[in-house]
């Protein structure tokens, strides 16, 4: 079934925009959000490609603030993230439609991914991960086009978008094995080499920035000190948690991804090998990167799972039971709410809720929507204490507070931000 017209993508775009906007944060959330807000408020472009500078995202926020000085920094961040998420979903819809030529597979794989916890949550806070996923989604779309059509133009565009993505987040370098696989599959070696040179140009540019600004190049590829404390037990636990993240994001819909994998194994092993080469390093890194919010690093892997959803759905669409299971995608928000209520009825859940109450407790961890959230600004201004380390958040919050006070804001006004 070929999609005709633009009705479905427009409905998806409008529906998810309204959903994310309605559930978006009421106050600046905990995490790296306040750092991005403070950088936006400063209005100074960042000339650093270190791991923590987030060159492309930060400078995009600053650019929008420069062009729209009458819009507050939190609102700049809110709309940048929501629009980024909607672009990702439209690219996903187009990608699945091209691969399957089945519009309902494209629609429902987009709905399932759009309602997945990690993507939904990151669409409602000021974070880099949905913005980063734009470049990865474009890389994957043109890579799959290249594998189907063998046109050198698509390979060049895949190299271009993966190269650009490095300026968004260095984690994307984990997809280089998939890119090299595309180069290997290319028939025209000269054009393949020219395409690869596009990617290499961005890598060299990434390194040139610290060289020209007298900064250490090692900071570009730094993973901090997290990887220094790796242990076998930690790795096993990390992958067990990773499987838990996968199931909480996609519930029983994960079975459609398995159907998609089986279908590709029988019909197109090259595409399957490419998706494995793109997704497995991301999954492995995110699994062993033992920080409290490492679930965000799975997003590119989750996106690949969403593409596999489309393949699985199109393969099983004639089965009535599978079709009814797909339709339950609209019940995903109720699954989150049910999990929240079940966890809140246990002693362990109540203990966890009490320990994390300073930033919302169980609702912060189990519900993707962020409206009526606890804000970092009121936390810092009231001098509250946290059981978890958050020095970098408090530092950014105080910088933002000082900037706003210089503009005449009172502490009561700031608590509402």
Mean of the per-residue pLDDT values for the chain? 91
pLDDT, tens digit (0-9, with 9 covering 90-100), for 329-345: 999 999 999 999 999 99
pTM of the predicted model as reported, rounded to 2 decimal places: 0.95
pLDDT, tens digit (0-9, with 9 covering 90-100), for 172-211: 999 999 999 999 999 899 999 999 999 999 999 999 998 8
Give the lowest-confidence range in 232-236, 320-324, 364-368, 402-406: 232-236
226: confidence class by pLDDT, cuts 50, 70, 90: low
42: confidence class by pLDDT, cuts 50, 70, 90: very high
289: confidence class by pLDDT, cuts 50, 70, 90: confident
d(CA 394, CA 391): 5
Residue 390 has pLDDT above 90, yes or no: no
Give how far Cα 168 sits from Cα of 8, 29, 228, Å.
Answer: 30, 21, 24
- Residue 277: per-residue pLDDT: 97
- Residue 5: per-residue pLDDT: 55
54-78 average pLDDT score: 95
- Phi and psi (nearest 5°) for 372? 60, 35
290: confidence class by pLDDT, cuts 50, 70, 90: low
d(CA 199, CA 166): 10
- Residue 1: per-residue pLDDT: 40
Calculate the dihedral angle through the C-alpha atoms of 406, 411, 415, 417, rounding to the nearest 10 degrees. -20
For 131-174, what is the HEC assignment?
Answer: HHHHHHHHHHHHHHHHHHHCCHHHHHHHHHHHHHHCCCCHHHHH
Eight-state DSSP code of residue 382: T
């Amino acid at each position: 079934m070929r999609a005709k017209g633009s009705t479905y993508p427009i409905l998806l775009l409008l529906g998810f925009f309204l959903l994310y906007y309605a559930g978006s944060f009421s106050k600046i959330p905990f995490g790296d959000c306040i750092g991005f807000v403070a950088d936006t408020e400063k209005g100074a472009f960042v000339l650093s490609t270190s791991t923590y500078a987030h060159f492309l995202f930060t400078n995009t926020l600053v650019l929008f603030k420069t062009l729209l000085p009458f819009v507050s920094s939190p609102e700049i961040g809110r709309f940048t993230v929501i629009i980024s998420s909607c672009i990702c979903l439209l690219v996903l819809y187009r990608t699945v439609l091209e691969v399957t030529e089945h519009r309902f597979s494209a629609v429902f794989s987009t709905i399932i991914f759009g309602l997945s916890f990690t993507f939904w949550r990151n669409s409602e806070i000021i974070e880099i991960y949905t913005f980063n996923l734009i470049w990865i989604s474009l890389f994957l779309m043109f890579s799959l086009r290249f594998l189907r059509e063998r046109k050198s133009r698509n390979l060049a565009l895949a190299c271009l978008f993966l190269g650009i993505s490095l300026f968004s987040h260095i984690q994307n370098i984990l997809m280089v094995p998939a890119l090299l696989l595309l180069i290997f599959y290319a028939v025209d070696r000269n054009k393949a080499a020219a395409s690869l040179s596009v990617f290499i140009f961005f890598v060299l540019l990434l390194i040139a920035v610290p060289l020209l600004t007298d900064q250490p190049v090692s900071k570009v590829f730094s993973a901090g000190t997290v990887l220094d404390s790796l242990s076998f037990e930690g790795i096993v636990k990390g992958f067990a948690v990773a499987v838990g993240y996968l199931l909480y994001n996609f519930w029983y819909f994960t079975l459609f991804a398995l159907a998609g994998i089986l279908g590709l194994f029988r019909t197109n092993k090259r595409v399957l090998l490419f998706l494995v080469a793109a997704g497995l390093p991301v999954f492995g890194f995110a699994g062993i990167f033992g920080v409290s919010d490492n679930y965000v690093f799975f997003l590119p892997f989750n996106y690949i799972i969403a593409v596999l959803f489309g393949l699985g759905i199109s393969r099983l669409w004639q089965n009535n039971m599978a079709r009814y299971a797909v339709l339950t995608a609209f019940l995903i928000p109720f699954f989150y709410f049910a999990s929240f209520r079940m966890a809140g009825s246990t002693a362990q859940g109540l203990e966890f809720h009490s320990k994390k109450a300073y930033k919302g407790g169980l609702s912060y961890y189990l519900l993707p929507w962020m409206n009526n959230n606890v804000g970092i600004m009121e936390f810092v201004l009231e001098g509250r204490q946290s059981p978890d380390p958050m020095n970098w958040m408090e530092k950014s919050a105080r910088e933002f507070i000082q900037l706003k006070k210089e503009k005449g804001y009172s502490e009561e006004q700031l608590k509402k931000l």
